Amino acid sequence: MNPLADQVFHLFYNKSVAQQLDSQSRVRIPSEMIEELGLGRKVFVTGQKDYMEIWPPEKWREAEEKFTANYEKTLAELFGGRPKQADA
């Protein structure tokens, strides 16, 4: 696999925690994770294949802006292509 992709996936999965739904179909977030991520009463939840990511809303906005700004370049680096060139 692509070494850059390996690094990215390692960072994504490094702090994963498997959790079971409670009797009311809620997911309990471990207190250590709440503290480490700086989560408050509002969070942003995003689906990623067969798991979820939980973000503080302001951190999600920052990450989304960075990714969106470099979307084509990042995909090209991950999958070995070249970014599309703008028409001259």
Q: Given this model, what pLDDT does residue 87 score?
A: 58
Structure token pair of residue 18: 């498997």
| Average pLDDT for 21-39 | 91
Query: Dihedrals φ, ψ of 44, to 5°?
Result: -110, 125
Mean pLDDT score across all residues of the chain: 83
* CA atoms of 43 and 20, how far apart (whole Å): 19
* Angle, vertex CA 55, rays to CA 51 and CA 61, nearest 5: 120
> Does the pLDDT of residue 53 top 70, yes or no?
yes
| Average pLDDT for 45-61 | 87
Query: Lowest-pLDDT range, 7-11, 59-63, 75-79, 82-86?
Result: 82-86
Amino acid at 37: L
Cα-Cα-Cα-Cα torsion 16, 60, 22, 18, nearest 10 degrees, comes to -10
pTM: 0.59
